[in-house]
Amino acid sequence: MSARGRAAISWPRFVERTTLCGAESAALPQVADLTFNSPNVEARSSFLSDNTHGFATLPPVPPNEPLAPGLYLVATPIGNLEDITLRAIRVLKQVDLVACEDTRQTQKLLNRYGITTRATSYHEHNEASRAMELLEKLAAGARIAVVTDAGTPGISDPGFRLLSLAIERGIAVVPIPGPTAFVSALVASGLPIESFSFGGFLPPKSGARRRELEKIRQSSVTNIFYEAPHRIREALEDVVTVLGNHRQIVVARELTKIHEEFLRGTAAEVLAQMNAREDIKGEIVLLVGPTAEAPPELSAVSIHERVNQLMRVEKLDEKSALKKVAKERGISKSEAYRELQACKASPR
Ligand code: SAM
């Protein structure tokens, strides 16, 4: 660990709090003492009221100011190396160690910005053991940044284990915001944006993927998923099967890179565009718009229809499908069974 910074700081007690400014305020004594970290409630509330006039923004920290101990979750570019914040660069320069998913990948970024901080690996295969090592260093007062190959740590990427342990131990955890693929995809998708759900990667196998899609059949918000290029065609086929030809979707590919593109349209249209291509490469975010149907009246779909639907889409046998329908409708299995028999006896 570099002695720079640690030797220079005398830590006020309140800096131990695990808040954003609890960690970085060491670099901003005048601002911090009067505002975020002040134990003086009046000073704090007057700061908050000033907030409405725009004083909430912390000024940029001079590059030579020391950084407080803690775990820094640093977002990095998702393709375009320019997409990194001044703060992220400063933090990466000032921490004692950068824990990264792939040291070779991160080294390119560090080299680009003249960052000479030591990098160590922290990925899904060594997450458990490495988290404990990093935690010991943090407990001893280290400043450690976690970065992944792209985007925000923890978002479909490693980071969560170390973060949870750090929180448990009362170590300051500081997010350094920046790119994340699903937000860029969402904001430019043209799909409703005021309310959305992010589901991470869709399951790789069709059965599980269809079950996942079935869950959003009646969704009234935009649903966002990550998908691999070699699976996007079959994923779109499942979208068409489960959600129908007409569901509005967007495939956002290669965001922030040279071949960035957005394919917008109905599920059938986008699938046709994908099928017309020889090869699909690059990184992909799949966005599924809300249902255009009115919210379902459960009773509008007969038990027989719903059982058939579940057998078709989720590949359930009749008994399991019936059990699920009973649960959905809050009725007993025997009641559902009686209704099913009645439906079968006199189909609508
Ligand atoms: N932590 C990252 C984030 O904050 O977005 C996500 C990492 S996850 C392992 C990688 C997936 O994110 C890719 O398979 C793709 O679905 C999506 N992704 C990452 N970069 C992207 C880009 N430039 N364009 C489109 N999707 C991207």
- Is any atom of ligand 1 closer than 6 Å to the C-beta of 284? yes
pLDDT of 48 reads: 41
Q: At what angle do helices 232-243 and 206-215 cross, to 10 degrees?
A: 50
- For residues 35 and 110, the answer to whether their CB atoms sit within 8 Å is no
Q: How far is the CA of 256 from the centre of ligand 1 (A)?
A: 11
Residue 230 has pLDDT above 80, yes or no: yes
Alpha-carbon gap, residue 313 to 307, rounded angstroms: 10
- Is any atom of ligand 1 closer than 6 Å to the C-beta of 157? yes
Q: How far is the CA of 232 from the centre of ligand 1 (A)?
A: 14
Q: In the CATH hierarchy, which top-level class contains the domain 13-179? A: alpha beta
Q: How far is the CA of 128 from the centre of ligand 1 (A)?
A: 23
- Is any atom of ligand 1 closer than 6 Å to the C-beta of 150? yes
pLDDT of 21 reads: 38
Identity (one letter) of the amino acid at 58?
A: L
Domain boundaries in the chain?
A: 13-179, 182-288, 298-345
Residue 52 has pLDDT above 60, yes or no: no
Q: What confidence tier does 53 reach under pLDDT thresholds 50, 70, 90?
A: low
The residues with which 265 forms a beta bridge, in sequence order, are 249
Alpha-carbon gap, residue 107 to 113, rounded angstroms: 10
Of 54-58, 117-121, 143-147, 256-260, the one with minimum mean pLDDT is 54-58
Q: What is the mean pLDDT of residues 71-93?
A: 97
Please check whether the two domains, 13-179 and 182-288, share a CATH topology.
no
Residue 76 has pLDDT above 70, yes or no: yes
Query: Residue written as tokens 């601002």?
Result: 31
pTM: 0.76
Residue to probe by mutation, ligand 1, list 83, 187, 226, most atoms within 8 Å of CB: 226
Average pLDDT, the chain: 84
Of 96-110, 154-168, 209-223, 328-342, the one with minimum mean pLDDT is 328-342
Q: What confidence tier does 55 reach under pLDDT thresholds 50, 70, 90?
A: low
- Is any atom of ligand 1 closer than 6 Å to the C-beta of 256? yes
For the CA atoms of the chain, what is the radius of gyration?
Answer: 26
- Is any atom of ligand 1 closer than 6 Å to the C-beta of 260? no
Residue to probe by mutation, ligand 1, list 285, 286, 287, most atoms within 8 Å of CB: 285
Q: What confidence tier does 315 reach under pLDDT thresholds 50, 70, 90?
A: confident
Residue 290 has pLDDT above 60, yes or no: yes
Q: What is the homologous superfamily of the domain 182-288 according to CATH?
A: Tetrapyrrole methylase, C-terminal domain (3.30.950.10)
pLDDT of 309 reads: 80
Residue 252 has pLDDT above 50, yes or no: yes
Q: Which residue's CA is minimally distant from atom 20 of ligand 1?
A: 78
List, for residues 99-134, the tens digit of each pLDDT value: 999 999 999 999 999 999 999 999 888 988 899 999
